[in-house]
């Protein structure tokens, strides 16, 4: 998958969790939980949505790597290629 | 029109899912209703055949209004509302209650969205809500636009900026997001003012050691695939539900100057809406479900609240509410009871605390659990028993 495809997937999954948020205003380095007012249940739904779309099982210990748009993109790129094992 | 909570006075029909002659079964979603808290999927409480629809889409009618008549299959017509409203007032003529559609200066009809994949229901709903399908992102099969996508579009963005629907035949669009926020604010104000006016609250709190729970959860989640992982909140709900069975005075309603214990434990879960306000829809029978099932229900419920599709039974029948404000960083919740319920349980943030065990101090994760309860229905002694039960149950997470 290209970074663009990964970003589009992240945006689609975020859109399901926070339909009222304009994602174009989200800075790539901003903490999504606080910027989008995402609680722990929403965040797990986000991880589940990524899992369903990309088939990547994200261990709980890696959740902090998904905190920002750019962090999540980099992490999912690396995991998606199968190049990196989960860090836990 | 069912009353979906103490703070609902009226609702607007968005869409009927059934037509006269259709066979309906208890639990079927028969009609979408727009309330101050968003669009609700209303379930029917009887089996039968839909005879006649009395309130058309677009009409806003007070709670208790007869929406449709139902007959038993092969029997003479009986009259039935989609849910049993308490002592319904005489039906209000639908026509009288329907506000007249706005007359746009120029009749601009949205052009038919070509090359857009959408279900027939999604297309009808989009037309009713004035949503331009060409601007909606589909999340269904092959990116088809689903009913939920249309509701998102109508809900999230508001439809104030959308072109008006065909002037004559279609109902007016729902109020814009700003108006809905104001309406929700008023609805919450009414319910909370009633609570503080009528309910003599008493408050209790305790700090619960969560070391067993967090240790068990970390091991359990490391073993589980992402689709089966648990959050502490699911265990909190289970513990509250089991404690409510032990101390039934916390679980039920204050109606007609007396406490009525509820049969099941349906836990209302406080969910803050990002735009404005909150809802507390119920997860049913938490005392009888496994924790995995409660977890799945919670994820699904929050997802549907975000999408603006909650079911009527979830909004109307919580027997006890739990609010978890830990994600906001607060340590302690001082709850306001949602009438006619008689108690609200609050959980704060999980924090590390110095904790003395057997004369030695260690650092343990802990949570402040609070109870706001109705003094008409119970006394502090029973409230204390209830919180002690929650604490005791949380010390054995594997048994939840």
Is 0.90 exceeded by the ipTM?
no
Fold of A3-80: 1.10.1200
Which of B382, B376, B87 minimizes the C-alpha distance to B258?
B376
**How far is Cα B148 from Cα B138, in angstroms, rounded to an integer?**
9
Q: Do residues B375 and B229 lie in contact, with contact meaning Cβ atoms separated by under 8 Å?
A: no
**How far is Cα A75 from Cα B150, in angstroms, rounded to an integer?**
32
**How far is Cα B231 from Cα B355, in angstroms, rounded to an integer?**
23
* Mean pLDDT for all residues in chain A: 85
Contacting residues of B for A51, CB less than 8 Å apart: 226-227
pLDDT of residue B145: 77
Alpha-carbon distances, residue B178 vs A23, A41, B164, B167, B279 (angstroms): 20, 26, 17, 23, 17
Question: What does DSSP assign to residue B109?
Answer: P
- Beta strand spans in chain B (E): 10-16, 23-24, 29-35, 38-43, 48-53, 60-62, 68-71, 77-78, 201-209, 252-255, 258-261, 267-269, 271-272, 278-279, 282-283, 310-311, 320-324, 343-347, 351-357, 360-374
For the stretch A11-49, pLDDT in tens is 999 988 888 777 788 888 999 888 888 888 999 999 999
Q: What's this model's pTM, rounded to 2 decimal places?
A: 0.73
The pair of structure tokens assigned to A17 is 């969790």
For the stretch B172-206, pLDDT in tens is 455 566 776 777 788 888 889 999 999 999 999 99
Q: A16 and B307 in contact by Cβ < 8 A?
A: yes
Which of B66, B45, B67, B42 minimizes the C-alpha distance to B57?
B67
Contacting residues of A for B221, CB less than 8 Å apart: 60
Assign A37 to helix, strand or coil: coil
Q: A16 and B156 in contact by Cβ < 8 A?
A: no
Assign B136 to helix, strand or coil: coil
Q: Do residues B353 and B364 lie in contact, with contact meaning Cβ atoms separated by under 8 Å?
A: yes
**How far is Cα B346 from Cα B208, in angstroms, rounded to an integer?**
12
Contacting residues of A for B155, CB less than 8 Å apart: 19-20
pLDDT of residue B104: 35
pLDDT of residue B263: 93
Which of A60, A68, A67, A1 minimizes the C-alpha distance to A29?
A68
**How far is Cα A24 from Cα A45, in angstroms, rounded to an integer?**
21
Asked if residue A87 has pLDDT above 60, the reply is: no
A32-62 per-residue burial string, b: 16 or more CB within 10 A, e: under 16: bbeebbbbbbbbbbbbbbbbeebebebbbeb
User: Mean pLDDT in runs of 10 for chain B (400 residues)?
Assistant: 80 89 89 80 88 90 90 63 43 36 36 55 67 73 70 54 40 58 82 94 98 96 93 97 98 96 95 82 96 96 86 87 88 94 97 93 96 98 98 97
**Cβ neighbours for B309, distance < 8 A, ≥ 6 positions apart:** B39, B40, B41, B148, B151
pLDDT of residue B154: 66
Alpha helices in chain B (DSSP H): 94-97, 120-129, 147-156, 177-198, 211-223, 232-246, 291-307, 312-316, 380-394
**How far is Cα B371 from Cα B256, in angstroms, rounded to an integer?**
23
Q: Do residues B286 and B320 lie in contact, with contact meaning Cβ atoms separated by under 8 Å?
A: no
Contacting residues of A for B161, CB less than 8 Å apart: none
**How far is Cα B35 from Cα B10, in angstroms, rounded to an integer?**
7
pLDDT of residue A10: 92
Assign B307 to helix, strand or coil: helix
Q: Give the mean pLDDT of A62-85.
A: 83
pLDDT of residue B370: 98
Where in chain A are the domains? 3-80
pLDDT band (50, 70, 90) for residue A88: very low
User: From the list A20, A41, A48, which residue is nearest B275 (CB)?
Assistant: A20
* A88 at interface of B, judged by CB pairs closer than 8 A: yes
Interface test with B, best of A11, A13, A18, A19 (most B CBs within 10 A): A19
């Amino acid at each position: 998958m290209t970074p663009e495809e990964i970003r589009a997937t992240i945006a689609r999954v975020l859109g399901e969790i926070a339909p009222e948020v304009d994602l174009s205003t989200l800075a790539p380095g901003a903490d999504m939980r606080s910027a989008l007012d995402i609680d722990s249940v929403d965040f797990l739904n986000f991880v589940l949505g990524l899992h369903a779309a990309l088939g990547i099982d994200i261990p709980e210990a890696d959740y902090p790597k998904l905190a920002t748009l750019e962090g999540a993109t980099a992490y999912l790129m690396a995991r998606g290629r199968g190049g990196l094992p989960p860090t836990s | 029109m069912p009353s979906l909570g103490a703070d609902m006075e009226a609702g607007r029909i968005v869409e009927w899912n059934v037509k006269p002659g259709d066979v309906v079964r208890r639990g079927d979603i028969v009609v979408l209703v727009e309330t101050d808290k968003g669009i609700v999927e209303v379930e029917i409480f009887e089996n039968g055949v839909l005879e006649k629809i009395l309130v058309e889409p677009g009409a806003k009618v007070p709670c208790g209004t007869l929406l449709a008549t139902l007959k038993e299959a092969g029997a003479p017509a009986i009259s039935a509302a989609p849910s049993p409203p308490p002592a319904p007032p005489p039906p209000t003529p639908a026509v009288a209650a329907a506000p007249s559609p706005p007359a746009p200066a120029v009749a601009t009809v949205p052009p038919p969205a070509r090359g857009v994949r959408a279900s027939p229901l999604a297309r009808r709903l989009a037309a009713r809500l004035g949503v331009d399908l060409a601007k909606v992102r589909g999340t269904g099969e092959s990116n088809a636009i689903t009913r939920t996508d249309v509701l998102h579009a109508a809900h999230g963005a508001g439809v104030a900026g959308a072109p008006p629907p065909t002037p004559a035949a279609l109902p007016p669009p729902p109020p814009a997001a700003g108006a809905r926020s104001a309406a929700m604010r008023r609805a919450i104000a009414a319910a909370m003012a009633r609570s503080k006016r009528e309910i003599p609250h008493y408050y209790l709190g305790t700090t619960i050691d969560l070391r067993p729970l967090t240790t068990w959860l970390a091991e359990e989640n490391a073993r589980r695939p992402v689709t089966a992982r648990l959050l502490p909140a699911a265990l909190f709900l289970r513990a509250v539900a089991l404690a409510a069975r032990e101390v039934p005075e916390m679980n039920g309603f204050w109606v007609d100057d007396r406490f009525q214990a509820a049969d099941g434990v349906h836990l209302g879960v406080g969910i803050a809406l990002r735009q404005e306000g909150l809802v507390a829809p119920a997860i049913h029978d938490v005392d009888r479900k496994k924790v995995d099932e409660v977890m799945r229900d919670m994820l699904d419920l929050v997802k549907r609240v975000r999408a603006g599709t909650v079911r009527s039974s979830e909004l109307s029948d919580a027997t006890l509410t739990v609010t978890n404000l830990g994600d906001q960083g607060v340590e302690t919740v001082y709850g306001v009871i949602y009438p006619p319920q008689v108690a609200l349980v609050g959980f704060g943030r999980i924090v590390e605390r110095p904790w003395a065990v057997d004369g030695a101090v260690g650092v343990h994760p802990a949570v402040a659990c609070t109870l706001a309860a109705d003094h008409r229905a119970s006394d502090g002694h029973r409230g204390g028993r209830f919180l002690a039960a929650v604490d005791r149950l949380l010390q054995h997470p594997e048994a939840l």
